[in-house]
């Protein structure tokens, strides 16, 4: 009798265990299903990189050094448009890719201004986004390194008063070559060259007080560096001079080329500073 009672008790415990396991499994499956649903509904935010038409060759660093200095070479101008694109342009949206047309009810006027050799030239239109022959001519004749300013005066509907207000948007950029100059061997090899000829010569103790240094330079039609200028000091004259010397002795580049296939000069900027990564 005791043996039979023990067997019944064992079966009861096993049954409860299987039921509990079933509920547990169901709960796990439910959680997994819910997680899959959440993941399926997730949509990452899209970043509009066109908002930054900066003439940056590559903001990419090589392996981190023990001395923790970051090296970067980029085009001198933060906002730029190639002279080839300006020559082909028929309306302002071709070189202002993020023109907020949804805000604009109508255009009052568009004024384009260039400054070259201390001469200021302006072309005016009331034709909306379409460029006039005068504006096309002004842009197509803008030389490399010419600053261009565009004033877009327009009417925008006020959502509160429901009236149309006059507003103005200013856009400025600099003209750059159609094909950028390039260090022979590529960007990574250029960074390696810069580090090998400067980083190893900088004392580790001086790195702690190192301020970001900025040096502009130009690559001429023959691929040689020239017009080297210190625009922001690191706080140490010897290090500043060392970096300038490294740029002076830099191997040849493949020069920039304009839209006519001619080799032209292009300006760049070297930035060296503490690596915060």
Model pLDDT for residues 208-252, shown as the tens digit of each residue = 677 889 999 999 999 999 999 999 998 889 889 999 999 999 999
Q: What are phi and psi of 14, to 5 degrees?
A: -65, -40
Higher-confidence residue: 167 or 10? 167
User: Which candidate, 195, 197, 217, 216, places its Cα nearest to that of 275?
Assistant: 195
Q: Is the pLDDT of residue 166 over 70?
A: yes
Residue 80's DSSP bridge partners are: 174
Share of the chain above pLDDT 90, in %: 55
Query: How far is 198 from 241, CA to CA, in rounded Å?
Result: 10
Query: Buried b vs exposed e over 135-156: b needs ≥16 C-beta within 10 Å?
Result: bbebbeebebbbebebbbebbb
Split at pLDDT 50, 70, 90, the class of 4 is very low
pLDDT in tens, 17-34: 434 444 344 333 333 333
Domain coordinates in residue numbering, the chain: 1-43, 54-75+179-274, 81-176
Report DSSP state, residue 191: H
pLDDT in tens, 44-96: 333 333 323 333 343 344 444 445 688 999 999 989 999 999 999 999 989 88
Q: Is the pLDDT of residue 102 over 90?
A: no
């Amino acid at each position: 009798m005791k043996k039979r009672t023990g067997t019944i008790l064992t079966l009861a415990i096993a049954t409860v265990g299987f039921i509990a396991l079933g509920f547990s499994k169901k709960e796990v499956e439910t959680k997994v299903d819910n997680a899959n649903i959440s993941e399926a509904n997730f949509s990452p935010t899209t970043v509009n990189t066109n908002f930054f038409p900066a003439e940056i060759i590559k903001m990419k660093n090589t392996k981190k050094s023990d001395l923790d200095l970051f090296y970067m070479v980029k085009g001198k101008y933060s906002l730029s448009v190639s002279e080839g694109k300006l020559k082909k342009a028929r309306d302002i949206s071709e070189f202002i890719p993020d023109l907020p047309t949804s805000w604009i009810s109508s255009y009052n006027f568009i004024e384009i201004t260039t400054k070259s050799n201390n001469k200021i030239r302006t072309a005016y239109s009331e034709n909306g986004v379409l460029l006039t022959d005068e504006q096309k001519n002004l842009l197509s004749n803008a030389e490399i390194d010419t600053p261009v300013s565009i004033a877009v005066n327009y009417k925008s509907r006020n959502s509160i008063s429901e009236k149309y207000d006059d507003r103005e948007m200013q856009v400025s950029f600099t003209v750059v070559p159609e094909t950028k100059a390039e260090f022979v061997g590529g960007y990574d090899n250029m960074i390696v060259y810069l580090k090998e000829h400067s980083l190893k010569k900088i004392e580790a103790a001086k790195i702690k007080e190192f301020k970001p240094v900025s040096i502009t330079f130009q690559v001429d039609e023959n691929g040689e560096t020239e017009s080297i200028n210190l625009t922001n000091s690191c706080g140490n004259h010897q290090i500043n001079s060392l970096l300038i010397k490294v740029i002076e002795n830099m191997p040849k580049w493949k020069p920039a080329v304009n839209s006519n296939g001619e080799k032209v000069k292009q300006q760049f900027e070297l930035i060296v500073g503490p690596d915060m990564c």
